[in-house]
A and B are shown apart, each in its own frame.
Chain A
């Protein structure tokens, strides 16, 4: 019973390419998040969204943009991929805002930019 689906498990792209990472959730969650995970570091928030067509910058938004045209889908866009964007990208969703709501994660997309 997959609840948060990321479109690709592995992706290899060339420097300068525009890259789309797709995330879909089937739990009718309001909130969606994009993180990247790098060795030795905690998950870092790139962008998040609390509602359709709404987006907020996280801690490291530079070089990224997002789109949320429908409640269930949250897309991460790398406008012009660079090698320092090689990373594991995780999408997550949560039912509500606030401290006590757990997150449901996708299984991640490992992106390599060459």
Chain B
């Protein structure tokens, strides 16, 4: 079984500050890396699916990078807003999605 690790486990960020967190995954037999945002009382929502080394994706103030050779992905949030408060999940695909435990982001007004 693959291990997908996310750090930090939780993060408090002042509104307006930028932040980033990490997803680590086994670099061998890599197929794809998924990022999801899970707000309280809502469904997890797909943010990005990344497949190529060096890939960089952006959605509004959120962006992600991928390094498949060393097995990590960063998620960046620029100018954090209260609505960014959520748990961010990453998952590495190896015939099924293998999920990290998530990074819980709390934005302080």
Q: What residues of chain A have their CB less than 8 Å away from a CB belonging to chain B?
A: 4, 35, 40-45, 48, 58-59, 90, 92, 99-108
Whether, in the assembled complex, B4 has its beta carbon less than 8 Å from a beta carbon of chain A, the answer is yes
Q: Size class of B's contact patch? A: 20 to 34
Query: A43 touching B42 by the CB < 8 A rule?
Result: no
A101 to B91, CA, bound (A): 12
Stretch with Cβ within 8 A of A (4 or more), from B12-20, B73-81, B98-106: B98-106
Whether, in the assembled complex, B89 has its beta carbon less than 8 Å from a beta carbon of chain A, the answer is yes
Q: What residues of chain B have their CB less than 8 Å away from a CB belonging to chain A?
A: 1, 4, 9, 31-32, 34, 36, 41-46, 49, 51, 89, 91, 93, 96-102
Residues of A within 8 A of B44 (CB): 90, 92, 103, 105
A41 to B1, CA, bound (A): 14
Most buried by B among A40, A102, A106: A102
The closest CB in chain B to the CB of A48 belongs to B96
A40 and B51 in contact, given A102-B46, A104-B46, A105-B43 (Cβ under 8 angstroms) = no
A99 and B43 in contact, given A40-B101, A42-B99 (Cβ under 8 angstroms) = no
Query: A107 touching B51 by the CB < 8 A rule?
Result: no
23 examples of A-B residue contacts, CB within 8 angstroms: A4-B43, A35-B99, A42-B4, A42-B91, A42-B98, A43-B89, A45-B97, A58-B96, A59-B1, A99-B51, A99-B93, A100-B51, A102-B34, A102-B46, A103-B44, A103-B46, A103-B97, A104-B46, A105-B44, A106-B43, A107-B41, A107-B42, A107-B43
